Amino acid sequence: MQLHKPDVVDAATAILDNYGIADLTMRRLARELNVSPGALYWHFANKQELLGAVADRILQPVRTEPTAPAWPGQIHQICVALRDALLSHTDGAELVSSSFAAGQSELATEIVAQLAGAAQRAGVIPPDDELAARTVLYYVLGFTADEQSRLQWDAAGALTDDQSVLNRDTSRQFAFGLQLLVDGLAVRGASTLGAARDMPQRSRD
């Protein structure tokens, strides 16, 4: 029977979940699908494009309009959903991170747009809104990649107790860094929102 893109992405995701990103190779994937390696290149231009498709599969659950009424809640919502999505796949953060950097994940770009919207509602005006959005994304990707790699060291069994990610409340830690950014956003937003009152620098000019 014929090979279709979604089948390929399914198989790739299965390898990722079960063996990790190091084992997600074109040849291994072809073997799993009972095709020759060359067959994959009919459907995907190269490995990066395929990884981008896997990244978009991972980010699918994040694809939802935020329901929170105010912008801080919206940012929390998006970021928590994002971290959850990344944590549900082995090396998820690493894969999405590099796909985003390579500009191969459409959904990552969409998430940036949504975060930028929240930043605007916080009072950050273009083009700073996108900058703020990217800053938030860098944080979530960096934090989660770190968390996930520690989890792997942990599973491998070579980590002292105070390094163990299990003994620390990572969700609380994640929220702390996120709050840092939300607070910063509030300050930055307030400085450009009419309210020149109690803002000493450049009140009117």
Partner DNA sequence: ACCTGAACACCGTTCAAGT
Binding partner of residue 15 among DNA, a second copy, none, CB cut-off 5 to 8 Å per kind: none
Token pair belonging to 97: 């991170």
- 198 burial class (0-12, 13-18, 19+ CB within 10 angstroms)? exposed
CB of 70 to a second copy, least distance (A): 14
Q: How many C-beta atoms surround the C-beta of residue 164 within 10 A?
A: 13
Q: Please, what sign has the CA dihedral across residues 69, 66, 108, 176?
A: positive
Q: How many C-beta atoms surround the C-beta of residue 11 within 10 A?
A: 18
Cα 185 versus chain centre, distance: 19
User: 21: which DSSP letter?
Assistant: G
38 belongs to the binding site for DNA (CB under 7 A): yes
Q: Binding string, 50-89, against DNA, x = CB under 7 A?
A: ----------------------------------------
26 belongs to the binding site for DNA (CB under 7 A): yes
The binding site for a second copy (CB under 8 A) comprises: 94, 101-103, 128, 131-132, 134-135, 137-139, 141-143, 145-146, 149, 153, 173, 176-177, 179-188
The binding site for DNA (CB under 7 A) comprises: 2-3, 23, 25-28, 34-39, 41-43, 46-48
